[in-house]
Structures are given as C-alpha cells and as structure tokens.
A and B are shown apart, each in its own frame.
Chain A
Amino acid sequence: MRKLKLSMGILAIAFATLTVVSCKDAKKENNNEDGHHSEMSTDEDHSKMNHDNSDGHHDEEATHDNSDGHHDEEATHDNSDGHHDGDSAEMSSEARDLDVSSQKNPATTPIIDAYLQIKNALVTDNKGNAAKGGTALLAAFSKFDMTTLTGESHKEYMEIAESAIEHAEHIVKSPIDHQREHFETLSTDISDLITLLGTDKTLYLDYCPMKKVNWLSETKDIKNPFYGSEMLTCGNVKKQIN
C-alpha cells in the first residue's frame, strides 16, 4: 500500500513537471510570434492606411481617377515589401552624401527626435536612455504616415524603415558597445531618410574620422556618440541642414 502511494506521488510530480515545462515552451512560442508581429507592424499599418485611403476616394469624386491609380500602385508595392527587391535596390541604398531635398517636411520629426534621443544617450554613455530612444524610434516608425509616398520613394522608404527598425530593436536590447555599432548604420538610414523626405528641423551632419561614419546632431558643437566621454569632441561638422 505504501509503495503504491509513493509511486502515485512520483507520477503526480512528474506530471506536474511535464505540464510546467510544456506550458513554458508554449509561452515562448507565443512570444516569438509576438516578436514577428511587431516586426511586421509597419507593413500592417501600411495596409490599414491604404484602406483609409480608398475610403477617402469614394467620398471625393473629383480626385477619384487620379488617386485610384495611385492606390493601385501602392497596392502592388505592398506585396513586394521586403521581398524580391534585388534589382532596383542598388541605387536607392547607396550611402549618399546628405543632399537634402528642399522639402521642409515636418512628418519626419518624431523619427528624427527619437534618433537624437538615442544619440544624446550614447554621448553620455547612458545605455538605458539609448534603449528608451530605441523604443521611441520604433513607435515613431509605426506611426509614420506613408500614404503620401508612391512608387520609388515608397519603396526606398520601406527599405530604410525596415533597416532602421531592425537597428532600433537591437538598440533596445543590447549592451552599449552593440548599441553604438547599430547606431552607426542607423545614422546612415536616418540621413538617407532625410535626403528622401526632408525635414524642417535644423540639423548638423557630423563626421567621425575614427569610425569614418556620419551622424546627425541638433547642436553645432561636436558631441561624438561613438566613444562617449572617451572622445567627446572628436569629429567635425560636414554640413548644416536648414
């Protein structure tokens, strides 16, 4: 009788362990899926916006023809987002010198502000604030209204956003030296974004001769984000924007 009790007990415990373990696993899978969703969020948002767009068309008869064509074009782009864009990508992702389009575009401001938040955190060696800036950047990209973008500029925006979002995600979860590495490429992405869409902010394109990369700053004084307090004033202003 005692033996039976004992073995029953053991079975019960083993069962409990199994359940706990498998639940944990399932949870992890869910998390993974969530992660994917957040990565895809720009795409999703975009398709939502397209719907909004088409609603608008029905209301406004006058612009109907014009915007219909526009809508179709966007729709085809949706399909190709992030995939099979090998051929025409060459031109768009060239790291060009910042030759800002004359547009004074306020729409890019939240993105640029989040970028500058990361930059300023790295200047002061503050990993936590840089991570917060990364989260802010992710939010700014997901809220960005891209309904006005068509054709090539839409495609280029999508490529820039995809890359920048990836860097922001890493900045959120990485130690500071990794944050800085991702910030290097992020700087190229953001300056390409400004070249593409413009900004109404006054910014300075700075150059770090040690890293051989550019970064953007809202102040004329050099505050190098790549080494923090080690080499704070290293670098020079290449160009003023606005």
Chain B
Amino acid sequence: MKIVKIIVLVLLVAFVGVQFIPTVRNQSESTPKTDFMLVNTVPKNINEKLQVSCYDCHSNNTAYPWYNKVQPVAWLLENHINNGKEELNFNEWADYSDRRKKSKLKSIISQIRDDEMPLTSYTLIHKDAKFSENEKQELMDWLSGLRDSL
C-alpha cells in the first residue's frame, strides 16, 4: 500500500515538474503573401474546409485547443505541427517550385483519398475537421483541377 502511495506521489511530482518545460508555440500575427489562399482563387467552401482541417498543422498559425499548455499534450502537438509543416506549409505555397506544387497536390489528394489526413487523433477532438464523402470528393476534384492547371 505504501509503495502505491509513493508511486502516485512520484508521478504527481513528475507531472507537475514537466509542466515547467517550455514548448514553442506555432502562432503568427499575419498571413504571409505566399499563402495558398492568397495566390490561388479558392472557392469559399474549399477555403473553409482546408483552413479548418489542415491549417492547424500545415501553416504557421495553430488554433490551439484549451489543453494545449498541459504537458505532455503540448509536446505531442508540437511534434505533430513540426512534422506537418515540414511536409507541407500552406503559408509558404508560392515559394514552392511548380514541380513541387504538383507533387504536393498529388500527395494531398492521395492522403485525403486514403483517409490518412486529417489524422484520426486530430479528428477525434476536432469533429468539424473530418471530411464527409461528399466533401472529400469536392476537395479532390478541385485540387486535381488546380494540379492540372499548373
């Protein structure tokens, strides 16, 4: 019984302790001129869908959930966001060469088609980020059109 008490206490102290480790927050005031929405003519519904479902991890500005400051959740988010931005950053769209834009669009489309994006761990909390079959089709059609126009 005593052992249990000690373990619980240790965990508690550790939990409180890790809260003091800082994380870098992914937030910026302004949208750069190279943003996907600014350099392309994006229909309103597509724009909204991409912003809600993708921009949290694929842009320089995350709408953080309330629990984002609680460790170890903050690390997990930071990690996801860093990886996400490395793969694709909608804010830097115009900086990609056309070759890479095409390749990115191809990957975006196949990720949406195969339900690999948005991540399940993300849609679990962000219910509105999930795509319906209709929305998936709409997005894929529009993105394919953009890809062919490049």
Contact = CB atoms under 8 A, between A and B. Distances in A.
A39 to B, nearest CB: 9
Interface residues of B, number: 24
A163 B107 contact: no
A28 B82 CA distance: 12
B13 A166 contact: no
Given A13-B10, A17-B14, A162 B21 contact: no
Nearest to A14: B13
A162 B82 contact: no
Interface in A158-200: 159-160, 162-163, 166-167, 181, 184-185, 189
Interface in A1-58: 6, 9-11, 13-15, 17-18, 21-22, 25, 28, 32, 35
Interface string B43-67: 0000000000000000000000000
A181 B107 contact: yes
Contact of B100 (A35, A90, A163): A163
A159 B96 CA distance: 9
A10 B100 contact: no
Interface in A116-133: none
Contacts of A18: 14, 17-18, 21
Given A10-B9, A85-B97, A93 B14 contact: no
Contacts of B6: 6, 9-10
Contact of A163 (B18, B79, B97, B150): B97
Given A25-B21, A83-B95, A181-B107, A93 B102 contact: yes
Interface of B: 6, 9-10, 13-14, 17-18, 21, 75, 79, 82, 86, 94-95, 97-100, 102-103, 106-107, 110, 150
- The 3 A-B pairs at the shortest CB distance, nearest first, are namely A93-B99, A14-B13, A93-B98
